[in-house]
Structure 1
């Protein structure tokens, strides 16, 4: 059994695919290791990579994180890293050490395939040097999805790496038919194997209230025991109370952002499908908001950013599966088993 390099753009669901593959290989009796040579610079210094924590738990491995994540990418990475050949050699050596003590190594790429290409540390170059194939995970949003997938596949092949194929992931239900009937044939006509079309599953694709708190910080005023609620939409409250209810009813399971001094809007939001109230400006709300939220089992988070800054920070929010999240782990496994051609994927993994 060889390794495989799982690549894809930010938010494509790479880690969920890596997780499901590891579980499948383990069920077949293989010893699996996980490698993520390029991590993302953590927002908080010293915070460990959550993907590594998850995959180490799944693989039953307790290696130090610094043996799994060797470098961290960021917009100013060239201020920190200079010697591309040395870093590349260290990454290949670390990969071979893992491969020597396992049956299969799942390598996960960073946020985009091209990251750190100036030092020859982009995903296709590393896959080519490791001698493993590249699996592209592509989330589906619209017709531009196909263009991005074709471009990414061309980049992988232009770098001399072997393209295993593509998995379309997080496909919205209304686009499932088009993905199967239009997107898949367009790629396969170009000789690109489409190995799966995985529907969007809110359990693993939609962030939780905890993910919002991890990014925003702030004080949890109530509902700390309900941080695993899913957040499917975000609404900002800056309207008059008269027009609020019809606006608020449009979005189920939402995060509602408003100033701490807008108790009227916060209370209105609590009468609709709301997963979390985020109060901005550091202004403590009327006590009625706390009592009503507690009664509704809705967390309330107080942040000291203004509303605009809070909305900007929400771009960093993503769904992270945690080691103890059996519901999400099982959902990732079920979706993979139901919608990915595992036999064909394994066959292509083993190709020279």
Structure 2
């Protein structure tokens, strides 16, 4: 049996998407696969139990039926961490190993996913490099491209993982930076690092749902409440007259428009263009006419208790910090993996 550990040095780098996409590809090729997130970092409640929500989502999409407590045996909740710091220590490596042994029986390959960072969980002896040693896992590192300095993260991860380091996937590469990446890959090859693929920056994968926007802004959805899973790719600010606003909004599709709750003229202009949501600032209720029009068109209006400037700042925080928990994103990530990742090379290097 092979064990592949998807790791990174930061959150939102694409670990869950890569793990799920590789899992679907391996299933399609006839492999019996298992999945585990040894240290859960996105705790939630499912069936009255604390589970990692990323792990729960992957299990559902891969059709794997396992005890959720085995799939993610350690949850880094504040309660757990504080107990450990007070001296109420658990033998975490033993807990993880026993859970792994139970769910890996009969599998050709186990896919493992680490939390935000390869060092996360080090104080409980459950960092990625420690678990990889315990479970005889090979580490596939996924790095989110930001600049040439991504090389530092890759080399640091390789040094930390040591012989467990299998190779690299570079993610979210803008087309404008492809020339830079074409210099980085040969450099890494000279350092003994295999690159299995380069995933381009993609608007669908960087988008955020209407529901996520409302949650992040602590807002209330006033209309079209059934459209919370609609994906927003762009944000625009409406602070001009109606005629200029209409021309301005026509330039961009799949957008959310941020404007004052009292700006009925701007709101109506936005509703007549390809808009996914309206974010109404100042905690001012929109006019009944605008609400009726938004309801007819099926466009959610989100009322927030923020001024426009702070609403813009808060939405900026969401860009690039979203999870792959929507069917559209899963399918898109899988398309990118099929087109850009050497899955056969990964399989061969794992000895499968």
Q: 1:230 — aligned with what?
A: 231
Q: Is the 8 A contact 1:211 1:320 kept in 2?
A: no
Q: 1:107 deviation in Å? A: 0.6
On the 8 A contact 1:233/1:253 being kept in 2, the answer is: yes
Q: Is residue 123 from structure 1 mapped to residue 123 from structure 2 by the alignment?
A: no
Cα distance in 2, alignment partners of residues 336 and 115 from structure 1:
26
Measure, in 2, the Cα distance between the counterparts of 1:16 and 1:309: 28
Per the normalisation by structure 2, the TM-score is: 0.84
Taking the aligned partners of 2:179 and 2:302, their CA distance within structure 1 comes to 40
CA distance in 1, matches of 2:245, 2:55: 42
SS in 1 for 2:208: coil
**1:215-234 deviations in whole A, cap 9, x for unaligned?**
44543222334334322233
After TM superposition, give the deviation of residue 35 of structure 1 in Å. Answer: 0.6
Tell me if 1:144 matches 2:155: no
Choose 52-61 or 222-231, whichever is displaced more.
222-231
| 1:211 equivalent in structure 2 | 212
Q: Secondary structure at the match of 1:291?
A: helix
- For 1:205-245, what per-residue CA distance to the aligned partner results, in whole angstroms no more than 9, with x for missing partners? 422223324544543222334334322233455x4548866
Distance in 1, matches of 2:77 and 2:314, equals: 18
2:60 to 57, 60, 71: 57
Pick aligned residue for 2:174 from 163, 172, 175: 172
Q: What secondary structure is seen at the aligned counterpart in 2 of 1:149? A: helix
- Answer yes or no: is the 8 Å Cα contact 1:263–1:289 preserved in 2: yes
3-state SS, counterpart of residue 222 of structure 1? coil
Q: Is the CA contact 2:15–2:142 (under 8 Å) kept in the aligned structure 1?
A: yes
**Does the CA-based 8 Å contact 2:59-2:65 persist in structure 1?**
yes
When the two structures are superposed, what TM-score results if normalisation uses the length of structure 1?
A: 0.84
The Cα of 1:37 is off from its aligned counterpart by: 1.7
- What is aligned with 2:325? 321
Q: Report the alpha carbon displacement of residue 187 of structure 1 after superposing the two structures with TM.
A: 1.5
Report the CA distance shift for 1:41/1:331 in structure 2 as closer, same or farther (over 3 A).
closer
SS in 2 for 1:105: strand
How do 1:296-307 residues align onto structure 2 when only pairs under 5 Å count? 296-304=297-305
Alignment partner, residue 338 of structure 2: 337
C-alpha separation between the residues in 1 aligned to 2:68 and 2:132? 21
For 1:266 and 1:76, how far apart are their aligned partners in 2?
45
C-alpha displacement of 1:81: 2.8
| Bigger mean CA offset, 183-192 vs 39-48 | 39-48
The structure-2 alpha-carbon separation of the partners of 1:62 and 1:213, relative to structure 1 and needing over 3 Å to count, comes to: farther
Q: Unpaired runs of 5+ in structure 1?
A: none
User: How far 1:194 moved relative to its partner?
Assistant: 0.5
Unaligned runs of 5+ in 2: none
Mark the CA change 1:130 to 1:204 in structure 2 (over 3 Å): closer, same or farther: same
- The answer (yes or no) to whether the contact 1:249–1:273 under 8 Å persists in 2 is yes
Structure 1 counterpart SS, 2:337: helix
Contact 2:20 2:62 in 1 (8 A): no
Cα 1:220/1:99, change in 2 over 3 Å: same
Contact 1:277 1:301 in 2 (8 A): yes
Find the residue that maps to 2:232 and give its secondary structure: coil
CA distance in 2, matches of 1:200, 1:177: 14
Residue in structure 2 matched with residue 109 of structure 1 by the alignment: 114
**Distance 1:240-1:42 versus aligned 2 partners, 3 A rule:** farther
- Report the Cα offset of residue 14 of structure 1: 0.9
Q: CA deviation at 1:314?
A: 6.6
In structure 2, what is the Cα distance between the partners aligned to 1:261 and 1:119? 52
Distance 1:281 1:156, change over 3 A: farther
Give the whole-Å Cα distance in 1 for the aligned partners of 2:67 and 2:221.
Answer: 32
| 1:307-330 per-position Cα deviation (integer Å, ceiling 9, x unaligned) | 6378448736513234xx2x4333
Q: 2:2 aligns to what?
A: 2
Q: Which moved more, 1:117-126 or 1:5-14?
A: 117-126
